[in-house]
Amino acid sequence: MRRLPARAELPPATCKKLEKESKAIADAENPKDEAERRYGNARKAKWFKPVVDSLGAMSGVGQRCMLCSGSEASQVEHFRPKAIFPLEVMKWENFLWACSICNMNKGGRFPPETEPGERIINPLEEDVWSFFFIDEFGNLTARWRPDLNDVDPRAAKTIEILTLDRDALQETRQNRLDDLKARVQDSLELSRHGNLKQADLRSRYDEWRTQPFQPDVASYFLDGPGRLESPFAEFCAKAKC
Ligand SMILES: [Zn+2]
């Protein structure tokens, strides 16, 4: 997970169409079946394209999955699952852009409605870094809650359901972190010898922030609480970013 921009506005015609579809589902005798049918048709229809385009744009360069940041996203993920919330199937506020692994892992799981546990985290609605941190090995980890004397239960449930601790993700997160640290250290070294000016550091920083390779690591260490850690703190002070 990573910090994402605020949800974009859809073109008015697309909003209208989504509203119309939602109304038809609500009025149907069997809303669940009607939602499945209408959503299946919508995914193949031209009018739905602005939805997919907007989700892709909010995901940033490389359109990494909004949930794991690991793979290219290709599926509309219903935050509130289709099977349990048919009236939310055509709601823009319910759409995320996800990879097939995350979409499949989440499936119909949505505590507390579907199983005991806390609500999972929506990266488009909440500040993910108040729930998680990335450690020195690149592990995405639930934050400790002193008031509960335990890890944050929502973060822990989110990691469990989406398997955000899967080996492939941990590995690429660690690679990205090692790579980012090496670039930052190299830039600081060049700057110490007068070979890079503040503007050069700043342009490197901007470039790293838009690289699509495991962007959760960049989000945490360049834009999030990880900025306070070495060597990022020294870099950000010198680059004035
Ligand atoms: Zn994913």
Cis peptide leading into 112, omega within 30 of 0?
yes
134 in any annotated domain:
no
For residue 138, report the distance from its CA to the centre of ligand 1, in Å.
16
93 in any annotated domain:
yes
152 in any annotated domain:
no
97 in any annotated domain:
yes
Q: Which amino acid is at 12?
A: P
71 in any annotated domain:
yes
For residue 105, report the distance from its CA to the centre of ligand 1, in Å.
9
pLDDT digits (tens, 9 = 90+) for 109-147: 999 999 999 999 999 999 999 999 999 999 999 999 999
For residue 200, report the distance from its CA to the centre of ligand 1, in Å.
33
Per-residue pLDDT, averaged over 219-234, amounts to 97
State the Cα torsion 73-74-76-80 to the nearest 10°: -50
pTM for this one?
0.94
Per-residue pLDDT, averaged over 170-180, amounts to 97
pLDDT at 222: 97
For residue 109, report the distance from its CA to the centre of ligand 1, in Å.
15
What is the Cα–Cα distance from 144 to 95, expressed in whole angstroms? Answer: 29
pLDDT at 25: 98
For residue 6, report the distance from its CA to the centre of ligand 1, in Å.
19
For residue 63, report the distance from its CA to the centre of ligand 1, in Å.
11
Please count the structural domains in the chain.
2
- Give the confidence band of 99 by pLDDT, cuts at 50, 70, 90: very high
7 in any annotated domain:
no
80 in any annotated domain:
yes
Which residues make Cβ contacts (< 8 Å) with residue 95, sequence separation at least 6? 51, 55, 76, 77, 78, 79
Which range of residues forms the domain containing residue 54? 12-106
Report the candidate in 115, 114, 106, 159 with the shortest Cα–Cα distance to residue 135. 159
Residues 171 and 97 in one domain: no
Per-residue pLDDT, averaged over 42-48, amounts to 97
For residue 61, report the distance from its CA to the centre of ligand 1, in Å.
15
